[in-house]
């Protein structure tokens, strides 16, 4: 199966089809949802705009979904953009001046905004004012423009990369954690109903267990197993069908895909000695950031690899997962 790439066209379509449309459909993350719900209701009752919101968490955990749910509940329009799409403050000025009172500006991957753009946002977020330069050359002058009060919702997979002055400007900050198997099962069953495919509870559980705590991954596996079921089993995902489907997708019992196993293979191949991120990226043929954000968190969380000051190293669990005796491999090295 090709690596998970957020923004991939088929995946975007699937996300849209399966995205919960109301707070009540959003499974799990109870505390976060409860808080956001209260803040939104309070703003509505006071007739005020909602404070700026920062949502942090790994890809596919529901940040974009929550941003849409908030906007819908507020009865506001949502304008979506992302950090890498805004190169200059001029790009942002155009968007900011077009916002109406109460609109939601959603900036995905907000940690990737260039520093100058981030600073430009400060006055927009705090005072709802921006400076723009008009005219050119000797006639150039700066004028201040007032903006409508809006709500910025930022999403980030790398909250550690945000500067503290930026972070401090968000009144609401929530972090999404990976989902447990029970919540993921519920999501799979809900998605199966939306996709019109029958699935037995054991198969839903199996998808939940292999989805690495991530709803987007669960939905993606469901969609692929549906393909298999459609061709081979009359549109019904049975427990046996799920096992066969996962074998076809090359997703193992621990929920690891080919690239996870390649990463483990590279680290195990180094005999459990630390390997730098750059070297690792080259040896598995993937970008450093993708390894750090998409693949590594789960491998660390599940104790397959350890991050040390000198790089990543394979744990005993990694050796065993690949069917290699850790002592024999280390013995080979020395």
Give the active site residues. Answer: 63-64, 108, 157, 216
Our finding on whether 65 is near ligand ADP (CB under 6 A) is: yes
CA torsion sign, 250 to 256 to 259 to 261?
negative
Our finding on whether 226 is near ligand ADP (CB under 6 A) is: no
Minimum Å distance from CB 332 to ligand ADP?
Answer: 41
Minimum Å distance from CB 260 to ligand ADP?
Answer: 19
Indicate which single residue of 215, 241, 255, 297 sits in contact with ligand ADP (rule: CB under 6 A): 215
What residues numbered 277-316 form the site for ligand ADP, per CB under 6 A? none
Tell me how far apart the alpha carbons of residues 293 and 325 are, in angstroms, rounded to a whole number.
29
Which residue number has the CB closest to ligand ADP?
Answer: 62
Our finding on whether 192 is near ligand ADP (CB under 6 A) is: no
Our finding on whether 62 is near ligand ADP (CB under 6 A) is: yes
3-class SS of residue 166:
helix
Minimum Å distance from CB 182 to ligand ADP?
Answer: 12
The interface region with ligand ADP, picked from 57-65, 70-78, 142-150, 227-235 by CB under 6 A, is 57-65
Tell me how far apart the alpha carbons of residues 329 and 265 are, in angstroms, rounded to a whole number.
12
Indicate which single residue of 43, 86, 125, 155 sits in contact with ligand ADP (rule: CB under 6 A): 155
Measured in degrees and rounded to the nearest 5, phi and psi for residue 44 equal -60, -45
- The residues, ordered by sequence, that sit 6+ positions from 161 with a Cβ below 8 Å of its Cβ are 111
List the alpha helices (DSSP H) in 62-214.
63-74, 89-98, 115-127, 164-168, 181-195, 201-210
What are the angstrom distances between the C-alpha of 176 and each of 11, 39, 62, 289, 328?
Answer: 21, 17, 8, 20, 40
Our finding on whether 83 is near ligand ADP (CB under 6 A) is: no
Put residue 243 in one of left, alpha, beta given phi > 0 → left and psi -120 to 50 → alpha. alpha
Our finding on whether 26 is near ligand ADP (CB under 6 A) is: yes
* Total residues interacting with ligand ADP, rule: CB under 6 A: 22
Minimum Å distance from CB 82 to ligand ADP?
Answer: 11
By CB under 6 A, name the binding residues for ligand ADP: 6, 15, 18-20, 26-29, 57, 59-65, 155, 187, 215-216, 219
């Amino acid at each position: 199966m090709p690596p998970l790439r957020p923004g991939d066209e088929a995946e975007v379509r699937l996300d849209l089809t399966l995205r919960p449309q109301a707070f009540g459909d959003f499974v799990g993350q109870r505390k976060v949802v409860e808080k956001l719900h209260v803040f939104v209701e309070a703003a509505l009752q006071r007739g005020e705009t909602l404070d700026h919101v920062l949502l942090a968490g790994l890809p596919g955990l529901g940040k974009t979904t929550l941003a849409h749910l908030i906007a819908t509940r507020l009865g506001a329009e949502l304008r979506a953009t992302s950090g890498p799409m805004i190169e200059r403050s001029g790009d942002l000025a155009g968007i900011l001046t077009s916002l109406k009172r109460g609109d939601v500006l959603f900036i995905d991957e907000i940690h990737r905004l260039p520093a100058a753009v981030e600073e430009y946002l400060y006055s927009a977020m705090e005072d709802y004012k921006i400076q723009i330069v008009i005219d050119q050359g000797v006639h150039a002058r700066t004028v201040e423009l007032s903006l409508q009060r809006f709500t910025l919702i930022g999403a980030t997979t790398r909250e550690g990369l945000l500067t503290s002055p930026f972070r401090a400007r968000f009144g609401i900050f929530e972090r999404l954690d990976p989902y447990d198997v029970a919540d993921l099962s519920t999501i799979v069953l809900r998605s199966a109903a939306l996709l019109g495919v029958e699935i037995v509870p054991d198969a839903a559980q199996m998808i939940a267990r292999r989805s690495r705590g991530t709803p987007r991954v669960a939905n993606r596996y469901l969609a692929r197993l549906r393909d298999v079921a459609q061709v081979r089993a009359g549109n019904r995902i049975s427990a046996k069908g799920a096992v066969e489907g996962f074998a076809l997708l090359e997703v193992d019992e621990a929920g690891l895909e080919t690239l996870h196993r390649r990463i483990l293979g590279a680290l195990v191949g180094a005999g459990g000695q630390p390997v730098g991120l750059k070297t690792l990226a080259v040896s598995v043929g993937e970008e450093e950031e993708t390894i750090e954000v998409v693949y590594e968190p789960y491998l660390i969380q599940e104790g397959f690899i350890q991050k040390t000051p000198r790089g990543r190293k394979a744990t005993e669990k990694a050796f065993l997962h690949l069917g290699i005796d850790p002592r024999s491999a280390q013995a080979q090295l020395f």
